Homo-oligomer: A and B are copies of this chain.
């Protein structure tokens, strides 16, 4: 039986995991694919580095083109990361009839549709389960498991770094900066944490999930993004007091053919299943018209969890090769959708205001909400012993984002509102 030859682009943490699983599970893979699988070529940054896995040195090259142009290679697994160069390698692989498995969320978020089209033209598969929520098979769940349903909401904790930080802040009452520093020491956050803490990583993943869940292509421009760098200890303390956890949620939601996609720190009611997802774990909550509430929970990153998803994709690709159905994935993105405008994006909001501590303040603030048709679910006014000012906490009923923005605009003009300390979306 002819072995399927795999070329690996990159041999960092995840690449090492892929080699470990492919080498260690030969019998299972053979039983499931019907073909032995051989790692035939590996491109690495430096030939001279010590490796944690035992790969014959003759298989190494420092030139990725050698992998994607090797006529013997059937499937290219891309775990080198990066966008521009990597895209060229993947395009070349597809153009020369190789199937591709990638863990590269940036590439797929930015260039997915283009790559799908090249794959289709050349009768090749491109699989990318590991690009979102590492160990959770959420992509095949959205594509196949819910193929018969119409989803209305996808909410994801899809960035482990920020979930670790917010969980720690909640559990220990610690400050953002202290926990970030600890996360950097533990390797849970990068030296430059911007892409994680400002929500960009989560936004890329949400474009992928929204595209699959709503059967249309979304780009990064379609996502409203806000990160967690301004979340304070105080915000989290108030959230807990009111029965919420603060989470960085990606939220993609649909009403008829109107969609909105956002990433933002969100107050999630403690009884909601996603509120108890802590630490570096990821979870994706999916609501479908027919199925109702579901949630998928697991590790979002890590050598072996991510490699598990990559090798599961490899098994799928090899099965397709053997069955002669490569490149026949149906085009999932067949829907015309429109993005919601701000006055169509509706949810509850939390606000923490610093106000002058005198009579009539609450009434003048309430009037502003009333002027824009925003009704209030809960109001809590209390003196802050540390400040001459008082604090008012407000949770609105469902309101549209445009109205909330207008309310906030008016607040900036009012003497009695000294500061809008925080504004968060609320999910029940």
Contacts and interface: CB of A to CB of B under 8 A. Distances in A.
Nearest to A315: B147
Copies in the assembly, this chain: 2
A71 B319 CA distance: 30
A199 interface: no
B296 A296 contact: yes
A330 B31 contact: yes
A52 to B, nearest CB: 15
B291 A308 contact: yes
Contacts of A32: 147, 330, 332
Contacts of A129: 145
A144 interface: yes
A295 B298 CA distance: 6
| Most interface-central of A32, A288, A315, A331 (chain B CB within 10 A) | A32
Contacts of A332: 32
A21 B141 CA distance: 18
| Most interface-central of A308, A323, A328 (chain B CB within 10 A) | A308
Given A215-B28, A308-B288, A328-B323, A294 B136 contact: yes
Interface residues of A, number: 59
A297 interface: yes
Contacts of A304: 289-292
A144 B296 CA distance: 15
B319 A330 contact: yes
Contact of A312 (B147, B150, B298, B319): B147
B25 A312 contact: no
Interchain residue pairs A-B with the least CB separation, the first 8: A137-B145, A148-B311, A294-B298, A290-B304, A135-B291, A295-B297, A290-B308, A147-B315
